[in-house]
Structure 1
Amino acid sequence: MGFLFTSCQEDDPKPQDDGSILIRSNVSGDVKLFDQYGEKSAQNDMRVTMDNHGKFFYGDTEKDGGYLVLNADYFPNYTILFEKQGYGTYKILNYSHEYNNGGEGHINEVPNLSEKSGTYSTSISANVSNDTVFFDLTAQLASGSGTRIIRFLFHTTPQISNEIFAYYTGQINIYSPTQTYYFTKIQLEGIGLKPNTKYYVQAYGDSYYSNSYMDTDGLHLPNLGIPTTGDTPTDSFIMP
């Protein structure tokens, strides 16, 4: 196949010594891996995948957390996936791998990634009193000595899940298997809930680093803890 060039611009692929066109190079980067409590864990064997619309290039982290993806095509819109057993998948979107004077590319973002949470909800009950909503929660707490974390998720449809939700709280510590939490109307309005609307609610364990990222369909929380059997319990309430 021949190549036709109408101009030679600064960011065009550059000829190699053998006259061919340089169309790919290595890409390096780093991650930092932690357990669900934020304690440093083994840094090796996380698979890093560069996805060029279905064409994949791979690398694996070494013991220092560094990785090298070999011979990745130049492409302006990669999705980078970070995957390891026990960890929620993390993504970097829209990474541009461009010609760099013959040098390798580098992913500047160094994500802090935790293992999935081992804490999950076993029951939840929502009750409204005046302008406050109370949530009575029972949970199976993860083993270990670190601080456990939960989040509450909300939706206007009963099809709520760890992947389908419209609103969410920040991370909240949980110290006991049975605990009551409450939010004022103002606090719930602050995360988007509307008055006189029916909402479904679930609670999930989360990790010190949530591995969260924004995709085209909204926020993803890949480290949420789910029951080993059965579904995450759901309740509903009318927002005051």
Structure 2
Amino acid sequence: MIINNINGNANLLNDEMTEIDNSGMTVIVEGTSPLITATTDINGNYSLKNALYGTTYTLIYEKEGFGIHKVFDVEHEDVRKFTLIPNKLELGQISNSIILENTAVINDNFIVLTVTRLDTEDLVVKRMRSFYHNSDDVSNKLYTDFSAVIGNTANPAALTFSTSFFTSLGFESGDTL
């Protein structure tokens, strides 16, 4: 049994996309026993120690005010002294926006999601991310996949997704999304 570290970096951003204190985010290797965890330092660096090589993991990132973020299918291969997560993870604070209404309309090969916020938020750039799951309980904690962060000043904001995007996530025609 060969074990070693998984190293990475998380960059925390406020609602204006300005970097803030990167320390204090907990990073967890899901399903390990004993649980493998680390906490980010001021630069956002972390090192998950004693992870078993030859295993594919899901990493969970948590910090109050930022919700929960998962990175699926992290391969910890026995090819070097440690596994480096190559992309710096950027996470924004949970928005204080209030969504009044959202609707989804299928238009040929596209799904248009319309999100309406309070009128007082007009012309303020708001960043949002959509989470996808085939359950009514979908949330930022229970999801199969998610969109990139989308910045938008429009209210209502219309976001367009191709149906092939959802097919690539494993959804089929007739599934609830």
Q: What range describes the TM-score normalised by the shorter chain of this pair?
A: 0.5 to 0.7
Q: TM-score, normalised by structure 1?
A: 0.49
- Deviating above 6 A after TM superposition, structure 1's stretches of 4 or more consecutive aligned residues are none
- Superposition deviation, residue 43 in structure 1: 0.4
Structure 2: which amino acid aligns with 1:64? N
2:73 to 67, 91, 94: 94
Aligned residues: 155
Q: Which has the larger radius of gyration?
A: 1
2:44 to 65, 72, 79: 65
Gapped regions of structure 2 (runs ≥ 5): 105-111, 164-168, 172-177
Aligned: 1:27 with 2:27? no
Gapped regions of structure 1 (runs ≥ 5): 1-12, 14-22, 127-132, 154-158, 193-215, 219-240
Conserved in 2, the CA contact under 8 Å of 1:83 and 1:90? yes
Superposition RMSD in Å: 4.4
Q: Give a deviation string over 1:100-119, Cα, whole Å, max 9, x none.
A: 45x22222221111111110
Q: TM-score, normalised by structure 2?
A: 0.63
Q: What pairs with 1:1-240 in structure 2 (closer than 5 Å)?
A: 23-52=2-31, 56-100=35-79, 103-122=81-100, 137-139=116-118, 147-149=125-127, 171=150, 173-174=152-153, 179=155, 191-192=162-163
Q: Distance in 2 between matches of 1:81 and 1:174?
A: 30
- Superposition deviation, residue 171 in structure 1: 3.4
Conserved in 2, the CA contact under 8 Å of 1:24 and 1:71? yes
Conserved in 1, the CA contact under 8 Å of 2:5 and 2:82? yes
Q: Give a deviation string over 1:136-195, Cα, whole Å, max 9, x none.
A: 9452767xxx62246799xxxxx596578xxx9x836246xxx45679xxx6xx644xxx
Q: Distance in 2 between matches of 1:68 and 1:174?
A: 38
Identity %: 19
Structure 2: which amino acid aligns with 1:95? V
